[in-house]
Structure 1
Amino acid sequence: KKSLLCNNIVAIVAALIMGFSKMAGSFEMIVVGRFLYGINSGIGLVAHGLYLGEIAPKELRGAVCMTRAVFVAFGKWMGLVVGLRQILGGENTWHLQLAFSGLPALIQVIALLWVPESPRYLLMERGNLAQCIDALQSLWGSGDFTEEVEDMMAERAQMKGESKKNLIQLVRDKTIRCQFLTGMAVSAGMQLSGINIIYFYASDVYHQLGISKDNIPYVGIGSSSIEMLTSVMCGFIIERAGRRVLLWKGYCFMALWILFLIITLCLKERFSWIPYCSLVFIFAYILTFGMGPGSVTGVVPLEIFTQSNRSIAVVAANSLQWFSLFGLGLVFPFVIDAFGQFSFFLFFGNCSLASLFTFYVLPETKGKTLLQISEDFDKLRNAMKNGMCPYFSKRPIVSNQTEVLSTRL
């Protein structure tokens, strides 16, 4: 909570700097403000996700954590709306558009004053059981929290004497290597799926359809609305369908839409109606992304790590996403110049691999405690040591040799 409060102050300061940049006639103020916005975004995504993961009951953890993806999509949509020339995108109001992000930051600062600290943080980090129960009552209402407190106490007992890890220690720790590699693969897979490139390339498709340059921003708002609405829909089904299903099926359909998009781009010069098919496949791709990887990816790192490792693991996962986006944005213009529409096979391959990975490796986390999820990864690690994947093996993977012997007897 305190991290979110301090982080919002950074956003407000950045908004003020950029808001007054026009009056001062200083582009350096814009650079400084954008730099502060970058810091705010990086910290906010991590702190917001951690807070949501720690205040949610296990039965609703996926839906609660999903709200981050919903409001990220809403932020994209709102940015496109206020960026219209008729609103704040004009020559006389552009500085107000740059400062607009300070408004939600101010609203969150005020709202956080009435929000309790995370119950898991109060009990597991500070050891204050009374404050933990008060926070649970404030968040969930009156009731019996014995089971939730016992789960937190069991996790706290397991991590007793274990200090917070830094990134190097996290990478070297063999006991959580499966969780770490899974979290990194899922996070990088989302950015390398090409969603941001598809958004960029969609403008060319809109132009080919005869949509005027002045109307293309409105079509962009429409496509962004699809992502926002599908994120909301995913929040209603994530606790029923599960994380693993939404991920592997989502990537599977995204690979299919990209393949169809490549075909239509190859045929666009032969038939006048082909660009309309390209538009349909772009919208289908965005819809599938919002229903699956775009919404669920941020939930996975919050669920597969215990309290002592979660913070640095989520930082690493988010950092890898930004580095993947940076690298892709740097390299892809040269790739598309060399290979044209066939460069989209890169995203077809990534989505196909991500679908196979999440299907065969990622365990389902729906409705499980963090200790139960950790045990599932222990079984996966033991299976990999034996040179097999638990989903291919017909024998049940057991946790120790004693169970194997008793079964044989």
Structure 2
Amino acid sequence: MNSSGEPDEKRKPRGWTGTLALTVCSAAIGGTFQYGYNISIINAPTTYIQSFINDTYTQRWGVSLDGPQVTLLWTLIVSAFSLGGLLGALLAGPLSVRFGRKYSLLLNNSFLLVGAALVLASRAAGSFEMILAARLLVGVNSGVSMNVQPMYFGESAPKHLRGAVAFSSAVFTALGIFLGQVVGLTGLLGSEPLWPYLLASNALPGLIQLFALPWFPESPRYLLIDRGDREACVLALGRLRGGEAPALEMEEMLQEQELQKSAALKSGNAASAKTPWSLFKDPALRSQIRTVTAASSAMMLCGNDSIYFYASYIFLAAGIPPEKIQYITIGTGASELTASILSNLLIERVGRKYLLVGGYGLMSFWSVVFTVALILQSSGVAAMAYVSMGCVFGYILSFGLGPAGVTGILPAEIFDQTARPAAYMLAGSCMWIGLFLVGMLFPFIVNSLGSYCFLPFLAVCLVSAVFFGLTLPETKGKTLAEITAEFDVMNGLRRPTMEERPEMQLKEPVREHYQLGKASSFTQLTQELDPHQKDRD
């Protein structure tokens, strides 16, 4: 029994519920799963699409394209995905504020379905431009989902499961990469007659989401803080927790709501969603912006996606028969999936900071070994080809262990409700710009540096490990108020008084028998829970 006369079991935080798990799966199958899936399915039909480009151009103009021209058009098709992702990242903030987290994900499928239709019609229309437009739309879909889904998860999960739930975005990304590699096998959809169906197969996960996600609740924090609908918030929270809405969790959201109202009154502005520009002007968010910008940029600039493309050359040099390389390459996707699942199980025990620093530290180690192996391999040491192959798997495993998932969690944990959409817009923009730059520059890096081509990625990983080790506070199991207090110190702000930080006034835990709806504000809530609180303070 506890001090309030209740059994201790009732006060234990609730774990995964069926509704929460199904909400995660329904959102992710049409969300970050699509990002991983669409990155991998474009690799298998490369030669078929290049031939289609040349054939349609010849039929249209009577002359064929030379090799560099075909490569240029193919590069534009591949790059369109990144440019669409950047556009989607910029759309994610306004969409999530206007329509909510859940309905933004549902509306996002419209880009995907139009893209699938364009791909299926491209061969009959004799238009490779339709493929380019389709990849742009698929990129928009991925850009929106990569930002809105972690936001949705971070706001819907209980505090003690927030990291595991948000990290599931990385698990589904890795699952998408792996399944895209499997579906792209020549024995399935990776053959010349079927490549349009391979590129359009991303419509199936989108349709699954359209049928499944409407049955599950919206983000409780969005309902309470953005829409002011307390009753809907209580219902959504109760469904996600498998019973009545936990009073302690509800009270934490009320704290955040009151803090934002208080800040809006002081500034003379309405408590509306912030813009990315307003984030940069706020001195209280300097360290948070620096953290998110560095994490999102490093995630793409570390070269993990490039190593997927480089893997086939390494496996070929290791003596793997060309017709077998596609099966070995599947192992790279399986490696990231395995690491993501393992990290999902560890994140609430180890914490965000150690996984992020450890992941980049291991990637730095594998970069050094990889560079040495490539140098010796170019000198004629045949056994080094197998060492290089092992480094590919080690690098991808290390990435999946930390940076792949922790990066997407940070904006949800270190920014409040009004700043969170803009923070994800900023983070998403950094990610997609980084992906575009690496995709465009990596071939030139390989040509100019040769066996030393991974030294730039080594520098990124080393700097990232040191930076996050020195500056990132651990957010595991902490409320937004506790996390903000740590960043206030980093930002050089004075420690606030009790009147300025009303959440600090509550000393006693909220009693589970509190009936929601009695208090109209956080101040009334604290007085109702403990009438002697003011005298003690």
Shift of 1:370: 1.4
Give 2:152's aligned residue.
Answer: 51
Shift of 1:144: 4.8
Give 2:431's aligned residue.
Answer: 321
1:301 matched to 2:301? The reply is: no
Alignment map for 1:323-338 (pairs within 5 Å):
323-338=433-448
Deviations 1:290-349 (A, max 9, x none): 111112111112211110100111111011011011112222322322221223111111
Give 2:364's aligned residue.
Answer: 255
The 1-side partners of 2:497 and 2:216 are apart by 48
Give 2:489's aligned residue.
Answer: 379
The 2-side partners of 1:186 and 1:32 are apart by 30
From 478, 482, 488, the equivalent of 1:368 is 478
Give 1:394's aligned residue.
Answer: none
Whether the aligned pair in 1 keeps the contact of 2:414 and 2:484 (CA below 8 Å) is yes
Bigger mean CA offset, 273-282 vs 23-32 = 23-32
Give 2:104's aligned residue.
Answer: 3
From 61, 69, 86, the equivalent of 2:162 is 61
Change (3 A) 1:233 1:22: same
Change (3 A) 1:401 1:58: closer
From 286, 289, 293, the equivalent of 1:184 is 293
Shift of 1:354: 0.5
1:267 matched to 2:368? The reply is: no
The 1-side partners of 2:475 and 2:418 are apart by 19
Give 1:232's aligned residue.
Answer: 341
Whichever residue aligns with residue 321 of structure 1, its letter is M
Shift of 1:238: 0.3
Q: Please state whether the residue corresponding to 2:362 is helix, strand or coil.
A: helix
Change (3 A) 1:271 1:109: same
Shift of 1:29: 2.3
Shift of 1:32: 2.1
Shift of 1:59: 0.4
Whether the aligned pair in 2 keeps the contact of 1:306 and 1:371 (CA below 8 Å) is no
Bigger mean CA offset, 256-265 vs 44-53 = 44-53
Change (3 A) 1:144 1:106: closer
Whichever residue aligns with residue 15 of structure 1, its letter is A
Give 1:392's aligned residue.
Answer: none
Deviations 1:113-149 (A, max 9, x none): 2011111011001111111010011111114511111
Q: Please state whether the residue corresponding to 2:323 is helix, strand or coil.
A: coil
Shift of 1:14: 1.7
Shift of 1:401: 10
1:97 matched to 2:198? The reply is: yes
1:169 matched to 2:265? The reply is: no
Pair member with larger Rg? 2
Whichever residue aligns with residue 260 of structure 1, its letter is V
Alignment map for 1:348-363 (pairs within 5 Å):
348-363=458-473
Shift of 1:103: 0.3
- Identity among equivalent positions (%) equals 42
Q: TM-score, normalised by structure 1?
A: 0.91
Runs (4+) of structure 1 moved beyond 6 Å? none
From 190, 205, 210, the equivalent of 2:314 is 205
Deviations 1:242-267 (A, max 9, x none): 00000111111110111011111111
Whether the aligned pair in 2 keeps the contact of 1:244 and 1:359 (CA below 8 Å) is yes
Give 2:229's aligned residue.
Answer: 128
Whether the aligned pair in 1 keeps the contact of 2:238 and 2:245 (CA below 8 Å) is no
The 2-side partners of 1:139 and 1:349 are apart by 43
Whichever residue aligns with residue 153 of structure 2, its letter is L
The 1-side partners of 2:461 and 2:485 are apart by 28
From 390, 394, 400, the equivalent of 1:280 is 390
Give 2:187's aligned residue.
Answer: 86
Bigger mean CA offset, 230-239 vs 1-10 = 1-10
1:74 matched to 2:175? The reply is: yes
Whichever residue aligns with residue 350 of structure 2, its letter is A
In the alignment, structure 2 segments of 5+ residues that lack a partner are 1-101, 265-270, 499-537
Q: Please state whether the residue corresponding to 2:143 is helix, strand or coil.
A: helix
Whichever residue aligns with residue 219 of structure 1, its letter is I
Change (3 A) 1:47 1:16: same
Shift of 1:400: 6.3
Give 2:495's aligned residue.
Answer: 399
Change (3 A) 1:401 1:28: closer
From 134, 140, 157, the equivalent of 1:39 is 140
Bigger mean CA offset, 66-75 vs 31-40 = 31-40
The 1-side partners of 2:272 and 2:226 are apart by 11
Whichever residue aligns with residue 294 of structure 2, its letter is A
Shift of 1:112: 1.2
Whether the aligned pair in 2 keeps the contact of 1:183 and 1:300 (CA below 8 Å) is yes
Q: Please state whether the residue corresponding to 1:113 is helix, strand or coil.
A: helix
Deviations 1:173-205 (A, max 9, x none): 111111011101011111111111222222211
